[in-house]
Every structure is written in structure tokens, then in C-alpha cells.
Amino acid sequence: MKQRIIALLLALALTLSLCAVSALAEEQGQSQAGPETEETAGEHTGEETAEGEEAPEAEEEEAPSLAGPDPEVTDLTEAVEIIPDEVGTLSFANVERRMRENNLQLLILEESVLTLEEIDYDKTYEDLRKQLNELAQTQWMLVLMGQSESDAYKQLDKAYDAVREQFDAIKDGEMQQDNADTIRQLNNLEDQIVMAGEALYVAVAALDIQEDSLERQLAALDRTCEEMDLRYELGQISALQLSEVKSGRVSLASGLETLRMNIQNYKFQLEMLIGAEQTGAIQLGELPEVTDKQLEAMDLEKDLEAAKEKSYELYDAAQTLEDARDDYKEAGDNYGYNESKYEFKAAKHTWNAAQYTYNDTVQNYELKFHTLYSQVKDYKQILDAAKVALACEQSSYEAAELKYQQGNISKNALLDAEDELRTAEEKVRSSANDLFSSYNTYCWAVQHGILN
């Protein structure tokens, strides 16, 4: 039975003994690696030679296709010319690049990936073979000296078994596959961190729109306060009414200050993610516009298959299912698939549960993808509706402006009409940002399989 987890730990332990120490390997722990015997005696009589045997080569991971500012042109993305940001500014197109170049978490993960990729399995295989030969020769010398029951012999025996397990893992290709799985997992973690950085950028952009809205509301409330002051002086309202209006103004101003504090904190986080000086004052550019061509290129069935193929979540679930199947087969071999044996029945139920779990994972993934696809389309129609509403508000404001020029409405009435126009403009901006956010998430799903 293939023990993926155990093999993975052994592979990472071997990485530590041959290469630089990586952050991931430190968490997995270290173990000693040894080599194998050509001439063995005592308990180890097998012969391992370099001739006629080649260690399977590790699978090479395809360079990831990145969502967002991806230089690769696909049906969903267009070629984007990357222009360096000015000092103190950040454009969305540069978020991923600057994170991958400067983010410490990403750099740690990338070093772990490079550590695994630099393992020379052919050389390691030969080194282990030599170590096994040397261990077996030493054991044979102890046998000739009548020390086959000594502690030294037993320690050598344990060392031989440990080295032989790694030797076989390379010979069978298990270590190469497990390391390839680890690299895939680390790349997935890198992508999720980048995706989180882009999501933070979009969140700050949304808060900026909210800040503009609150500032406009505060200005309108200031006008109301001036009007109420005048009415109070004329005796048209009570002191309590005036106090209530001014209290609302204080509350709104307080909310605006809290919002500004949150924006600054998020900008601190964004600056840390891209490795910039943390000032909380970085200026963000406008989010890219999602084109009709990009939306038309969305193909639910084709994109879903591409996402499932790229998904590490589904890949890991499939590997877990494979381990469960191996456990079931092992139980079947041990108990002859005898339904009357409790141990076999328990293994069979576990295997059935594993299949249900895998199918449930796939179904949930497909459901989330369908939901994301629908959200993109829905945000598009919301944006279109917001544009229609904006056109109507533009016409209303022009009419109000004409009435003001003719002396038919007051200055405050005109400013109120302008507020309505600005509100409609903010709705368009907000809807466009929502569309881009959902579409960018869709791109990450199709190109990397990430839905979270």
C-alpha cells in the first residue's frame, strides 16, 4: 500500500540532508539518510547495483498561468503592458508582480519549491546504493566477529532499513511523485496569497468609493445644518430639532473618520504584501475594466473542466481517495474479501465513505463554480442597469441646472440634484468594481483551480 504521507515526510527529510534547509521542511522534521549494499550477508543478502536500473525522473510542473496581470494571452485575458508604478502608487496590474518579487511569505515558499526542484534523484539514488553497500559490509564484518546480536549490529540494521526505504522510494518513483505533489501544494499556497492581495486591493477600492459617498453626505448635511440654523434664528424650529440635526452630523463625521482609519490600516497591509515602505498612504489606481469580449469568451462547461484539472483541492481529494482504495485492497488481501470478517466489513464501509466524500467534494466544487459564473453575469446586468440610471440622473441634473439658471429652484435644490448625480456615478463605479472582482476570481478559478 502506498503511504503518501510517510513517503512525503521521508522525501522532505532527505531534502534537508542534501540541500539547503527550507521553511516547509523545518516543520516536517529531519531524519538521517544512508546508502545501500552491493555485497551483503546476514539478513541483507540482496544485491543493489547501478547497472540496468534508473531512478524514475521527477515530473516537472508546468509553469503556472497567472490570473490578473497575466502576460499569457488566453480566451479570458488580454495582453497587458506592464508599466512600473510611480513611487507611492500601486496599479492593479502590478500587484502580483510586486508581491512575487518582494513578499516574504511568497519568497519563503518559493525557496522551498526550489529546494525540492534541485534534488538530483539519479545522484541521490547512487549515493543511497553506496551507503547500503557500506552498511551491509559493516554488518557482515560484525557477523564474522560473532557480534550479530550486539547493539551495534542492531543499530546498523535500523539504519539499513531506513536508508533502504528511501532507496526504494526513489526506485519506485514514489519520492519523485510526492515531491511533485508538495511543489504543487506550495505553488497553490503562493497563488492563494497573491489572490488575497488582489482581493485586498479591490476591497480598498470599494472603501474609497464609500469614503467619497460619506464625504458628499457630510457636505449635504452641512448645508442642512446651515439651513436649520437660519430657521432656528427665525423661530421656525426648536432648539431640540436643531440639536438632533447637528447630532446626526457628528455621528456621520465619526463614521467617516472610522472608515478612513480602516482604509489606512488596509493600505498598511497592502504595502506589507508588496514589500513597500509602510506609510498607509499608498495611492491606488483604477481597477481594470472588464470588456464585452472577455465576458463573451466565458464558456461554462469548458472553463469548468479547465478549473477542475488545475484545482489542487480536487487533486488532493483524488489522492486521498486513492489512499483509501489502497487500504481497502490491503484489507481485502488480508481477509480474502470475506464479508463475515469484521475487519474487512469495516474497511469496506470506510472505502464507501471515502468515495462519497470525494464525490461530495467534486459536487461542491462544481456548484461553487456555477455560482461564480452566474455572479459574473449578474454583476454585468447590474452594471448595465446602473449606467442607464446614471444617464437618467444626468438628464435630471441638466434640467435642474436650467431651472436654477431661470431662478425657479434654489441653490440647495441644485446641489441636491448634483448629489443624486454623484450617487448614480458611484453606483456605476461600485458595480464596475464588483464585476471586475467576480471576473478576476473567475479567472483564478479557470487558470489555477482556486475558488476560495
The domain limits of the chain are 294-452
For residue 334, which amino acid is it? N
Residue type, 107: L
Task: Encode burial over 392-405: b for 16+ CB neighbours within 10 A, e otherwise.
Answer: ebeeebeebeeebe
Crossing angle for the helix pair 95-102 and 239-274, to the nearest 10 degrees: 60
Q: What is the pLDDT of residues 161-189, one digit of tens each?
A: 999 999 999 999 999 999 999 999 999 99
Q: What's the alpha-carbon Rg for the chain, to the nearest Å?
A: 33
Q: What's the pLDDT band for 78 if we cut at 50, 70, 90?
A: low
Give residue 145's pLDDT band: very low, low, confident or very high (50, 70, 90): confident
pLDDT tens across 337-374, in order?
988 889 899 999 999 999 999 999 999 999 999 999 99
Residues 6+ away with beta carbon under 8 Å from 68: 92, 93, 95, 96, 194, 198, 440, 443, 444
Give the integer Cα–Cα distance in Å for 344 and 367.
35
Could you tell me the sign of the dihedral formed by the alpha carbons of 176, 182, 183, 184, in that order?
positive
The single-letter DSSP state of residue 93 is G
Residue 291 identity: T
Q: Which amino acid is at 273?
A: L
Q: What are the angstrom distances between the C-alpha of 378 and each of 305, 373, 396, 427, 438?
A: 22, 9, 27, 15, 10
Residues 303-344: tens digit of each pLDDT: 999 999 999 999 999 999 999 999 999 999 999 898 888 989
Q: Report the pLDDT value the prediction gives residue 414, as an integer from 0 to 100.
A: 93
CA distance 95 to 283: 13
pLDDT in tens, 247-261: 999 999 999 999 999
Q: How far is CA 270 from CA 202, 276, 451, in A?
A: 11, 9, 21
Structure confidence at residue 21 (pLDDT):
32
Q: What is the model's pLDDT at position 208?
A: 95
pLDDT classification of 215: cutoffs 50, 70, 90:
very high
Q: Which three cell numbers stand for residue 228?
A: 436649520
| Averaged pLDDT, 43-59 | 42
pLDDT at 281: 92
Q: What is the pLDDT of residue 130?
A: 93
**293 exposed, middle or buried (CB, 10 Å; 0-12, 13-18, 19+)?**
exposed
Phi, psi values for residue 67, rounded to 5°? -80, 180
Which grid coordinates are listed for 157?
540494521
Are 90 and 285 in contact by the 8 Å Cβ rule? The answer is yes
pTM for the predicted model, two decimal places = 0.77
Residue 75 exposed, middle or buried by CB count within 10 Å (0-12, 13-18, 19+): middle
The three cell numbers of residue 109 are 515558499
Cβ burial 301-334 (10 Å sphere, 16+ → b, else e): eebbebbbebbbbbbebeeebeebeebbeebbee
Collapse the DSSP code of 310 into the 3-class scheme (helix H, G, I; strand E, B; otherwise coil) and give the result: helix
- Dihedral sign for Cα atoms in the order 22, 23, 24, 29: positive
Q: In whole angstroms, how far apart are CA 301 and each of 76, 308, 369?
A: 14, 11, 10
For residue 350, how many C-alpha atoms fall within 13 Å in the half-sphere facing its CB? 18
pLDDT cut 70: percent of the chain above it? 82
Q: What is the pLDDT of residue 142?
A: 86
Average pLDDT over residues 71-98: 77
d(CA 231, CA 250): 20
**Residue 184, all three cell numbers:** 504543487
DSSP 270-286: HHHHHT----S-PEEPP
What superfamily in CATH does domain 294-452 come from? Answer: Outer membrane efflux proteins (OEP) (1.20.1600.10)
Burial of 181 (0-12, 13-18, 19+ CB in 10 A): buried
Phi, psi angles (nearest 5°) of residue 139: -65, -40
- CB contact at 8 A, 208 and 287: no
